Chains A and B, each alone.
Chain A
Amino acid sequence: GAGVSQSPSNKVTEKGKDVELRCDPISGHTALYWYRQSLGQGLEFLIYFQGNSAPDKSGLPSDRFSAERTGGSVSTLTIQRTQQEDSAVYLCASSLEGLEAEAFFGQGTRLTVV
């Protein structure tokens, strides 16, 4: 596709379950970001993959959160033992490398933990 694709678009899960959120970046984009946005709040940075460099995980809120990027393309954000406070929209973005590259965002995955 032409844009960043995220799946699923909506996910309802029970507290304590693990969830996986997927991001398909724009082809050829070497940088990939994950953010989360709670209702009425701003974007909270989670993790950043840049080419072959070690990912910047400084925004992950706890060790229940992890992310992988396989083959420099698709990324999966995993949340283990979900809590109600994990409910949010999780946004993925990708860009070419370089300071002048704009980031393109997907439409997000709305996660609801019940």
Chain B
Amino acid sequence: DAKTTQPPSMDCAEGRAANLPCNHSTISGNEYVYWYRQIHSQGPQYIIHGLKNNETNEMASLIITEDRKSSTLILPHATLRDTAVYYCIVREYGNKLVFGAGTILRVKS
């Protein structure tokens, strides 16, 4: 019952910015957008989250459109270690985290 749509895979050159899109057209006013990633054979790792405003931390930036129906996760300088599955999640009422299929990001040298 994931409420987000992401491309199944993307490639990015090492050192370049990786821009991962996510559509969440049915998001409601008090739902947050979260991004997690899962590197092979590891548990998922939190990256960033936001409600309305753009957010930035040491890992990434999150750009949310004004209508909140889509967002983009930006890894400013992708490295080979950023190769992972990236999950965009809209948090449902009751705080349950539901993961969709995600985007496989391949960073290539």
Contact = CB atoms under 8 A, between A and B. Distances in A.
Interface of A: 4, 31, 33, 35, 42-43, 45, 48, 50, 56, 91, 93, 97-100, 102-108
A86 to B, nearest CB: 19
Nearest to B31: A99
Contact of B32 (A4, A99, A103, A107): A99
A50 B91 CA distance: 14
Contacts of B30: 99
A6 to B, nearest CB: 9
Given A33-B97, A102-B49, A103-B97, A43 B32 contact: no
B25 interface: no
B109 interface: no
B99 A45 contact: yes
B75 to A, nearest CB: 18
Nearest to B85: A42
Given A50-B94, A98-B95, A99-B91, A104 B46 contact: yes
Contacts of B91: 99
Interface in B24-53: 30, 32, 34, 36, 38, 42-46, 49
B95 A97 contact: yes
